[in-house]
């Protein structure tokens, strides 16, 4: 069946904060772009190849994840570009930005092009590679950022580890001004987090695990905000996890520093107590923090201090988690749970639906400087239909990611992507009938 002809999406609640829309609007896609947005029924007589009944659905610009790990090249046993992209579209993401800590590291145009080729072959979500700040992520010499930019990177980051050398960070911020891209900051002071396995606090003391204090993150966020101010470069703070980080970013924004920030669904949902009985699936960097930090993150998200929600989807094989807690790999998968987990914030009235769309689509597009994040005429035909009331349970077998390292296995969720469209092609449709059979 030919699917890239014109599509009319009718009867839904269209939410597009960039266009100031939230209401009953129909949508016409054609030629890979949004052709028109109009009042209900406007496209009834349009010659389309497919009509999608969106009654009871939210129709929003495709979600954009500005922080994930697709593991290819080098760690295909954890994830591939294709399996990660399949997880992305099932989770409502039409585009993802993947970090550079592959093997080989994405520190050259050749690796950037390889990732883009794999993404084109998968033909699911759009994949935007993020290049390394430093060659081999060694934190010594700048990677060839210009070459990678020409090949298609959208930002640079040594994510997975911090840029320990302040002078290198300064130069990265300065150098990237030339390309208009952000330096994404994995902020943790190497000395303060050395050997740490979880947040330092009452729970780490109780469990006898070496902690990572909040100050490990805040010390480096503080440093890098000063460097962004010094250089005029664009800093993006990845996975903010502490109240102190939120306060530092808020103050920096107030004095005009060019900074943006993201938070993950797991930091918005869980606290360090989730480590409870040494559950390896509750181990990630930065670590899960306290209830007070979680509150501050939600406040920061509500007032715009934190611009975006990003998954930090970090697949690991089960054998890398089924070991002693301190030996377990850091990271959790998130592409397929982010939508439902973040919708809890809408239910809790932390975000209204328009702000929710902004944090998951519009803002990530702006931060990465990529098209999308809106459904205005001429924008890419990247759309997700969301059933906000769908109830489902997270099960390992139901995840499309190759890895199942989620702390939310067994959790009851509400809300999911029912149809995901990339460049005018339907790349994912949730089959309600099949799910009802399975759930029953």
Partner 1 sequence: MPFTQRHLLGLEGLPAEEIVHVLDTAQSFVEISERDIKKVPTLRGKTVINLFYEASTRTRTSFEIAAKRLSADTINISAATSSAQKGETLADTARNLEAMRPDAIVIRHPASGAPHLLARAVSSPVINAGDGAHEHPTQALLDLFTIREKKGRIEGLEVAIVGDVLHSRVARSNLHGLRALGARVRLVGPPTLVPEGFGGSGVSIHHDLKTGIAGADVVMMLRIQHERQGANYFPSVEEYSRLFGLDRAALADAKPDVVILHPGPMNRGIEISSEVADGPYSLILDQVTNGVAVRMALLYLLAARGRGEPEREAEERASS
DSSP 267-335: HHH--GGGGTTT-GGG--SSPP--HHHHHHHHHHHHHTSS-EE---B----GGGTSS-GGGSPP-B--T
77 makes contact with partner 1 (CB under 8 A): no
For residue 309, give the DSSP letter.
E
In the shown chain, the binding pattern of residues 199 to 228 toward partner 1, with x for contact by CB under 8 A and - for none, equals ---x--xxxxxx------------------
- Nearer to partner 1 among residue 180 and residue 208 (C-beta): 208
153/347 Cα distance (integer angstroms) = 36
437 makes contact with partner 1 (CB under 8 A): no
Q: Which two tokens stand for residue 205?
A: 């003391």
Residue 312 is a catalytic residue: yes
- Nearer to partner 1 among residue 113 and residue 411 (C-beta): 411
Q: Which residue among the candidates 293, 312, 382, 387 is catalytic per the annotation?
A: 312
Minimal distance in Å, beta carbon 206 to partner 1?
7
Three-state DSSP at 253 gives helix
Minimal distance in Å, beta carbon 202 to partner 1?
7
Instruction: Select the residue interacting with partner 1 from 323, 378, 431, 439 (CB under 8 A).
Output: 323
278 makes contact with partner 1 (CB under 8 A): yes
Minimal distance in Å, beta carbon 331 to partner 1?
18
Looking up tokens 């010390």, which residue turns up? 219
341/352 Cα distance (integer angstroms) = 14
For residue 74, give the DSSP letter.
T
- Nearer to partner 1 among residue 42 and residue 409 (C-beta): 409
For residue 347, count other CB atoms closer than 10 A to its CB.
Answer: 11
Q: Which two tokens stand for residue 231?
A: 């250089």
Three-state DSSP at 93 gives strand
- Nearer to partner 1 among residue 115 and residue 219 (C-beta): 219
Instruction: Select the residue interacting with partner 1 from 322, 378, 431, 432 (CB under 8 A).
Output: 322
Stretch that binds partner 1, among 7-15, 36-44, 238-246, 318-326 (CB under 8 A): 318-326
- Nearer to partner 1 among residue 110 and residue 327 (C-beta): 327
Q: CA–CA distance from 363 to each of 108, 359, 387 (Å)?
A: 27, 6, 22
DSSP 211-231: EE-HHHHHHHHHHHHHHHHHH
Catalytic residues: 312
Instruction: Point out which residues bind partner 1 (CB under 8 A).
Output: 202, 205-210, 277-278, 319, 322-327, 410
């Amino acid at each position: 069946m030919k699917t890239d002809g014109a599509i009319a999406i009718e009867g839904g609640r269209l939410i597009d904060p960039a266009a100031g829309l939230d209401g009953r609007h129909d949508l016409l896609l054609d030629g890979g772009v949004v052709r028109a947005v109009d009042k209900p029924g406007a496209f009834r007589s349009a010659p389309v190849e497919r009509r999608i009944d969106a009654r009871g659905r939210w129709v929003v610009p495709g979600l954009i994840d500005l922080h994930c790990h697709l593991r290819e090249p080098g760690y295909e046993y954890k994830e591939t570009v294709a399996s990660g992209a399949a997880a992305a579209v099932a989770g409502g993401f039409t585009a993802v930005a993947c970090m550079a800590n592959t093997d080989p590291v994405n520190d050259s145009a050749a690796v950037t092009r390889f990732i883009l080729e794999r993404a084109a072959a998968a033909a699911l979500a759009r994949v935007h590679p993020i290049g390394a700040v430093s060659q081999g992520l060694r934190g010594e010499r700048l990677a060839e950022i210009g070459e990678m930019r020409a090949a298609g990177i959208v930002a640079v980051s040594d994510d997975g580890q911090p840029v320990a050398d302040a002078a290198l960070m300064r130069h990265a911020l300065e150098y990237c001004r030339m390309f208009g891209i952000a330096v994404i900051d994995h902020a943790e002071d190497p000395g303060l987090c050395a050997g740490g396995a979880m947040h330092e606090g009452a729970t780490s003391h109780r469990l006898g695990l070496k902690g990572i204090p909040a100050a490990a993150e805040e010390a480096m966020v503080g440093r890098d905000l000063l460097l962004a101010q010094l250089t005029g470069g664009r800093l993006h703070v990845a996975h903010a996890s502490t109240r102190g980080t939120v306060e530092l970013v808020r103050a920096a924004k107030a004095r005009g520093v060019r900074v943006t920030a993201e938070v993950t669904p797991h930091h918005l949902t869980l606290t360090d107590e989730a480590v409870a009985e040494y559950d390896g699936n509750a181990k990630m960097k930065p670590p899960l923090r306290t209830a007070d930090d979680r509150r501050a993150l939600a406040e920061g998200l509500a007032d715009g201090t934190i611009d975006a929600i990003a998954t930090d989807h970090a697949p690991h094989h089960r054998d890398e988690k089924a070991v002693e807690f301190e030996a377990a790999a850091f990271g959790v998968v998130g592409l397929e749970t982010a939508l439902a987990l973040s919708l809890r914030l809408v239910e809790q009235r932390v975000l209204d639906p328009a702000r929710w769309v902004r944090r998951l689509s519009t803002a990530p597009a702006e931060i990465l400087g990529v098209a999308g994040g809106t459904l205005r005429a001429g924008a890419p035909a990247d759309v997700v239909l969301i059933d906000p009331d769908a109830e489902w349970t997270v099960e390992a077998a139901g995840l499309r990611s190759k890895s199942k390292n989620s702390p939310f296995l067994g959790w009851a969720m509400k809300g999911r992507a029912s149809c995901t469209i990339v460049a005018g092609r339907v790349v994912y449709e949730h089959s309600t009938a099949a799910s009802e059979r399975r759930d029953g």
